[in-house]
Amino acid sequence: MNSHRISPVFLGIAAVTAAAGWATWTGFAANTGLAVFLFVTGAWVVSLCLHEYAHARTALHSGDISVGAKGYLTLNPLKYTHALLSIVLPLVFVIMGGIGLPGGAVFIERSRIRGRWRHSLISAVGPLTNVAFAVVCTAPFWLDALAGVPPAFQYALAFLALLQVTAALLNFLPVPGLDGYGVIEPWLSRGIRRQVEPFAPFGLLAIFAVLWIPEVNIAFFDAIHGLLRGLGIEELESYCGQNLYRFWQAESPVCVSG
């Protein structure tokens, strides 16, 4: 079925990601930073697509058969309801501050779904996809399997892991408009849901504004780096990954890219 066939757009993004990953690993690219930028950006977009696919696939099996007709099962990011919130803004946040902010994308017809547990699961599977991505990215570190892995590729994985951990953590916050609120919303009274509903469009912007406060930003990233250290990634490694990613800036002398 065309509604379930993987989109050529997604396959193209995946192909660019694989090619950039190969260039990062082999040092083939004249500009290692550009290869890291393309690899991390491509992998981040792939994770966003899988995040939204997880929502849609779970909704399909929970009773919302409309997700197929909307193109959500093709992994095509151009089919999302809010491409700006789903792809553009998360990429801007990554480039500006190295924060894996989640986006809002697929429209689920909740009236088709019965059972509070199903509604909660539909919301939870998105950030759980980011958790799974983080596990894959950090596996070489906590498995002590980095022998032979070029430093630039290690740094790229470390930065990508940081993005996935921040996305999962932020998206699980019980803030209107984010998946964390979607998990608890079915269990709230109708009155509370009605009062909170007008604030949903502004939840993501509120998170960004709060993270702009220096004290909050420092505390947040201290927690993120604490989690990453538990997974075998030191702060210097993710810092060097971000430094390579932002290739248009001067490379830090403490980071070895090749």
- pLDDT cut 70: percent of the chain above it: 93
In angstroms, rounded to a whole number, what is the distance separating the alpha carbons of residues 134 and 137? 5
For 99-136, the pLDDT digits (tens) are 777 666 778 888 899 999 999 999 999 999 999 999 99
Residue with tokens 């890219």: 257
* Axis crossing angle, helix 151-171 with helix 116-142, rounded to the nearest 10: 160
Does residue 68 register a pLDDT over 90?
A: no
Residue 85: per-residue pLDDT = 65
**Res 101: pLDDT:** 72
**Phi first, then psi: what are they for 154, rounded to 5°?**
-60, -45
Told to judge if 52 belongs to the known catalytic residues of this protein, a careful annotator would answer yes
- pLDDT value of residue 185: 93
pLDDT tens per residue across span 214-249? 999 899 999 999 999 999 999 999 999 999 999 888
pTM for the model: 0.91
pLDDT in tens, 4-51: 789 999 999 999 999 999 999 998 877 888 999 999 999 998 998 999
Which of the following is catalytic: 52, 197, 215, 237? 52
Angstrom distance (rounded) from CA 51 to CA 55:
7
Q: Which whole number is the average pLDDT over 79-95?
A: 72
- The predicted structure's pLDDT at residue 123: 94
Q: Quote the Cα angle for 89-172-3, to 5°.
A: 65
